Amino acid sequence: MKKLPVFTLGIEEEYQIIDPETRDLRSHLSKIVDGAKILLNEQVKAEMHQSVVEVGTNICKNVKEAECEIKFLRTKIVELADKQGLIVGGAGTHPFSKWQDQPITDDPRYHTIINELQDAARSNLIFGMHCHVGIENREIGLKLINQACYFLPHIFALSTNSPFWEGRQTGYKSFRTKVFDKFPRTGLPEYFDSLSSYDNFLETLVKTNCIDNPKKIWWDLRLHPFYDTIEFRICDMALTVEETMCIVSVIQAIVAKLYRINSQNMSFNSYRLALIKENKFRAARYGIEGNMIDFGLQKEVETKMLILELLDFIDDVVDELGSREHINYVHEILRNGTGADKQLAVFEQTKCQIKVVDFITSEFTKGL
């Protein structure tokens, strides 16, 4: 069988900066970002809200390299936060912090977004994990996006980690996506039958002043406008490095498997967006504990069973990618629950959201 090309990885994580006394989100007044820029150059940047820090790895050749980078970045941000008397956590939303209390970063880019989107932007106090997979050309990238879209709810279910919002138990395993739905150009990506039709679409949006650049297409999966990558943006921020690397490894393996199928002049079925949306809703609502639709069988199947089928589907590329150990962690998530399940379990035991924050911050440094 023909050897796979190198599917490089880049990971972005968005961290919660937290006051150790109140356990509320807290502005770091750019001190963490400014300190990090001395140590880490462009790998750290401010986000729209001052209580958020975003980090990004360099381009990594494989999962092991990416894991080393994520561990390094988490460690450095924890150290810099500690110097400011602050702590760090990883989850898709904060259990009780109110967006109205969180100052916006003073940056022209964010002022423009706030001016356009108003409270939809101000209330977007959410935290995600994005994974870039390197791809050799945009035409192949678009084909793979059309086919990988089917697997987005599976990946999303494994990543669910935002059951609380503004002090309320929302009933969702990922409420982060419900908050982000208020933005335009979000959700599952459109299907495009050719690169020219995709480029025409982008050109139309820019020409008509819908967007000033293609980065303002915030789909769950997109061709990155400036890098040779496809970017998976659907995941909640993970509690631990292990969870991040497990999900990243699944994403990379899906891309590699679809690439292999297409290089053999075959392709994976592309399903109606409306059907995939049904599965995305179920993943947001129930995480791994509910059912999703098996479109081939046209019936409901346990989400955990579909995830096990996904593992079978990607199994023949995993060893070549060197990610078997990380992929196997999926079984741990299926046994012990996602970040959302763990947060809810802490709340069930303690009836205290401060204890949930303590759990989130303690898990952040696990394995570092």
pLDDT at 70: 97
* Segment 98-157, tens digit of pLDDT: 999 998 888 888 888 899 899 988 998 999 999 999 998 899 999 999 999 999 999 999
Give the pLDDT confidence score for residue 41 in this predicted structure.
74
Stated pTM of the model: 0.96
Q: What is the pLDDT of residue 45?
A: 83
Neighbours of 315 (CB within 10 A): 13
Around 329, how many Cα atoms within 13 Å sit in the side-chain half-sphere? 17
Residues 6+ apart with CB under 8 A from 58: 10, 43, 69
pLDDT mean across residues, the chain: 94
- The answer to whether residue 134 sits within a structural domain is yes
Q: Give the residues across from 104 on adjacent strands.
A: 49
Task: Return the H-helix or E-strand segment holding 204.
Answer: helix 195-207
Which of 256, 253, 260, 254 minimizes the C-alpha distance to 323? 253
In sequence order, the β-bridge partners of residue 49 are: 104
Judge whether 4 lies within some domain.
no
| Residue 326: partners with Cβ closer than 8 Å, 6 or more residues away | 63, 67, 242, 245, 246, 248, 249
CA distances (Å), 210 to each of 111, 204, 219, in order?
16, 8, 15
User: Which structural domain range is residue 151 located in?
Assistant: 9-364
Residue 3 lies in a domain: no
The one-letter code for the residue type at 244 is: T
Which residue in 177, 202, 14, 19 sits closest to 90, CA to CA?
Answer: 14
Instruction: Work out the percent of the chain whose per-residue pLDDT is above 90.
Output: 80
Instruction: Please write down the long-range contacts of 169-174, taking CB distance under 8 Å and 24 or more positions apart.
Output: 169/344, 169/347, 171/285, 172/284, 172/285, 173/283, 173/284, 173/285, 173/286, 173/287, 173/289, 173/338, 173/340, 173/341, 174/92, 174/236, 174/283, 174/284, 174/287, 174/340
User: How do residues 267-304 score in pLDDT, each as one tens digit?
Assistant: 888 888 999 999 999 999 999 999 999 988 899 999 99
How confident is the model over 325-366, as pLDDT tens digits?
999 999 999 999 999 999 999 999 999 999 999 999 999 999
Q: How many domains does the chain have?
A: 1
Give the Cα-Cα-Cα angle 348, 349, 350 (nearest 5 degrees).
Answer: 100
Q: Is the pLDDT of residue 44 over 90?
A: no
CATH number of the domain residue 142 falls in = 3.30.590.20
How many Å apart are CA 233 and CA 223, to the nearest integer?
Answer: 11
Residue 2 lies in a domain: no
pLDDT of residue 169: 98
